[in-house]
Amino acid sequence: MTGLEIAANAVTTVSIVLAGRNNIHTWWTGIVGGVLFAVLFYQVNLYADVALQIFFLGTSALGWQQWLKGDRGQPLTVAKADFSKLAWTIPVAIVATIAYGAALHFFTKAYAPFVDSAVLVLSVIAQFLLMQRRIETWIFWLLVNSIAVPLYASRGLYLTSFLYATYWINALVSWAWWRRLEQQSETAILGMP
């Protein structure tokens, strides 16, 4: 365990807890954590995770702006994703995982390229849903954390692996919290007590 791993996990943990609480400060803390994790994952040859951190940097800036300004002038509230828009994610996730995993397998010295790619692809989907404040983000984060825990442990990143196990619990709690927020929002729209 290095100082870099400790710092990356500390900042990212704050960001993840803030996301679960629907707090806008999740975004700038996510940017700092992303930079730290990009360096850490590069050092242990988890190249899909490096690419993921770079993706997080850009989407965190966009998510921050989206949460601040809303959607077409309307406040962006916690809501369920439209099933018809969400249905495409599973087949696309499978194809993207296989394609990116194959590229890493054949062209790099990546460790566990297909598993690492699954973490990347599912995280991308989860991040887009988080940016839109969609409840289903937490289902995808549960999948990511389930895959990431053994992957990171296998590379000796025990603190990171342990924290991803706690992020799994946070995702469950956050899923329940966001469902409650969405129900409160629906009740307020209908004008019911």
The 3-state DSSP class for residue 32 equals helix
Give pLDDT, residue 193.
55
Task: Give me the tens of pLDDT residue by residue for the chain, a chain 193 residues long.
Answer: 789 999 999 999 999 999 999 999 999 999 999 999 999 999 988 888 898 899 999 999 999 999 988 877 777 889 999 988 889 999 999 999 999 999 999 998 888 999 999 999 999 999 999 999 999 999 999 999 999 999 999 989 899 899 999 999 999 999 999 999 999 877 765 565 5
Domain containing 55 equals 3-190
Give pLDDT, residue 60.
95
pTM, two decimal places? 0.88
Give pLDDT, residue 29.
97
CB 78 within 8 A of CB 133: yes
Tell the residue number behind the tokens 């730290």, with chain if given. Answer: 36
Give pLDDT, residue 49.
84
The alpha-helical segments, DSSP class H, found in the chain are 3-20, 26-43, 47-69, 83-86, 89-107, 113-131, 137-154, 158-190
Task: Give the number of domains in the chain.
Answer: 1
